[in-house]
Chain A
Amino acid sequence: MEVLGYILEQCINGLQLGAVYALIALGYTMVYGVLRLINFAHGDIFMLGAFTGYYLITKFTIPIYFVFIITMALTGCAGYIIEKVAYKPLRGAPKISLLITAVGVSLFLEYFLSLKMIFTPNYIGFPRPFEVVSYNFSILSVTNVQILIFTITGVSLGLLYVLVYRTKQGRAMRAVSYDQEAASLMGIDIDRTISMTFIVGAALAGLGGILYGIAYPQINVFMGVMPGIKSFVAAVLGGIGIIHGAVLGGLIIGMSEVFVSAFLSSTFRDGVIFIVLFLVLLLKPSGIFGKRTEKV
């Protein structure tokens, strides 16, 4: 019984981490779907979200749901600006130039924001907007932070699903990811659709940033690097370009991290994640849900 409780509790730990990874992985996957670009700056948008949340919570007294909404709006804007400034001028250039630009944007965000007059390179404690309460059931305990993360991730996934599969805008996204040229011939505004994708992806990453800050209350400008890379692995694992693939990938990565720490040693943790990446790339490069043609 105790062992079962232990495993269940570790599952919840894994889901908590995995849910955040899933939120970030969605952005990777959507952008890849429409642009065939791995947006390495995505992990830094996640960091931006955490910092925005931090400033909103400490400087203003506003209800927590406003913090979420404003942060998502602001990181969405950041995603829009990054796309317009850094990626759009390279629309016709080879894909590799775009990739290098993405790395450049990522480094720019990290080191520019780590300047002393902006966010500083220091570690900052993230204020919890509410007290942590632990609910004990017979064999396991769940905290309200975990419940919050599961709910918010679930709700935003549902909304994203509706957006992509039930709206005209979503249909445009899917069309662009299927065949950009044909879509433009059908009268779809490609630029607008790409911007939209960036905004939605960045807003989700920003949301992930606040949730991460609430769950692990310490932030700094380089906090996006590792989660960013791991979410990228998650997106590849699920099949890059596929929404439900990114979610499943995120959960698998979160779970495996926790279970490696729980049953082996945390020293092996990151190694195992990257071995997973190698295996996926070797055995099924298109990922779990991948077919030959990718869709958003």
Chain B
Amino acid sequence: MKKALIVALLLISALFSAPPVSFAKETVKVGVITPLMGDVKTYGESTKNCFLMALEQYSKNGRYTIVPVIADDRNDPTEGTNAALKLITQDKVVAIIGPLTSKVAIPVSETANKYKIPMITGTATNLKVTISDGKRKPFVFRTCYTDNFQGSIAANFALKDLKARSAAVLYDVSNDYSKGLAEFFRSTFIKGGGTVTAYESYQKDDVDFSALITKLAMKKPEVIYLPDYYNKVGLISKQIREKGLKGTLLGGDGWDSPELAKIAGNSIIGSYYTNHYSADRKDSVTQAFIKKYKEKHGMVPDALGALAYDATGILFKTLDAAKSPNPEEIVKGLAGLKNYKGVTGNISFDKSGDVVKSVVILKVGNEKSQYVTTIEP
């Protein structure tokens, strides 16, 4: 017994005392929180794919060996917060990429900020992600625009390009993302001289929208704004067309999934949505990224994956530039980031940790979404 112990101790000490091998780099852990199951899993998957792609790119000549710790939040705020606590306290990550959706990102941003761990979400657009009660959370950043901007652009597009005078809004009252977009759409649409004839909410697990849609049918809105994720949107758009409503459907970046067309079928064709980037964007960085993703995964990446790719790229760049790989140094670097050439555009964080970027408007077609126009901020 004693002998075995001595041998074991000798072995362990031999491991530690071994001279550092020249090519071994310092190891740094980075956490990723994203939904790999549940109602928005296609986004989680593309986010994960894009993160790993960025990591592969970095590994070629980065300063550190990065060990990713990927956690599944199932698009559930509680799961997300648990995952964040585990990443921070047990895995000791230096930074977190994600979470994907606003409703998970808001509580996780609180946790990250409390433990002083930098967090960059690629995709959570709700205002409360970077700010709570009017106060900036200094450790939280994002690489996408915010809901107020996206909602207003959609409203202006409805007013000016679609020449709509009346609109209806259907949103998920239990989802911060959906609620945020709905509010900003409504206020901008009214300010622009339109009337919002119906402003109705439903709940997370609803599948029967017949009462709400029959109500909308009475008002005959020219535009129906559906700020939610593809799963719900598909279900609603189907029921809208079955009830014989003709209004143009309009949505946000939550529509960007190949699943949408599968669920919604013909009912969604010809509808418009605002998005972060178009795969048709004529830019060498973007096109190189899309080509690489296609080679690996056999399809065009969605905007959410692209944003996660940028978030990861920014983190790695800052990490290499920082004096040492600790959270404080990384945050300092992030706050000073200017003009990062990302696949979704040029990224500079403003003083609230958000970015100012252009919005792309896409039209849902038979095969894929077609680019309509870009709106600069």
Contacts and interface: CB of A to CB of B under 8 A. Distances in A.
Interface stretch (B16-24, B211-219, B302-310, B316-324): B211-219
B37 A262 contact: no
B323 to A, nearest CB: 43
Nearest to B230: A123
Nearest to B202: A266
Interface residues of B, number: 31
A265 B210 contact: no
Contacts of B127: none
B41 A122 contact: yes
B231 to A, nearest CB: 5
Interface string A247-280: 0000000000111011001110110000000000
Contact of B242 (A116, A122, A132): A132
Contact of A226 (B39, B74, B205, B242): B205
Which of B208, B218, B235 has most chain A Cβ within 10 Å? B208
B38 A13 contact: no
Interface string A1-33: 010001001100110110000000000000000
A262 B211 contact: yes
A104 interface: no
B278 to A, nearest CB: 26
A258 B211 contact: yes
Nearest to A8: B214
A13 B210 contact: yes
Nearest to A223: B207
Which of A132, A217, A266, A269 has most chain B Cβ within 10 Å? A266
B355 interface: no
Contacts of B210: 13, 16-17, 258
Given A13-B208, A123-B39, A257-B208, 4 more contacts: A6-B214, A218-B234, A258-B210, A261-B212
Interface of A: 2, 6, 9-10, 13-14, 16-17, 116, 120-123, 125, 132, 134, 136, 141, 143, 212, 215-218, 220, 222-223, 225-226, 257-259, 261-262, 265-267, 269-270
17 contacts: A14-B211, A16-B210, A123-B38, A125-B259, A125-B263, A134-B243, A136-B244, A141-B243, A141-B244, A216-B239, A217-B263, A218-B231, A220-B39, A257-B211, A258-B211, A262-B211, A267-B173
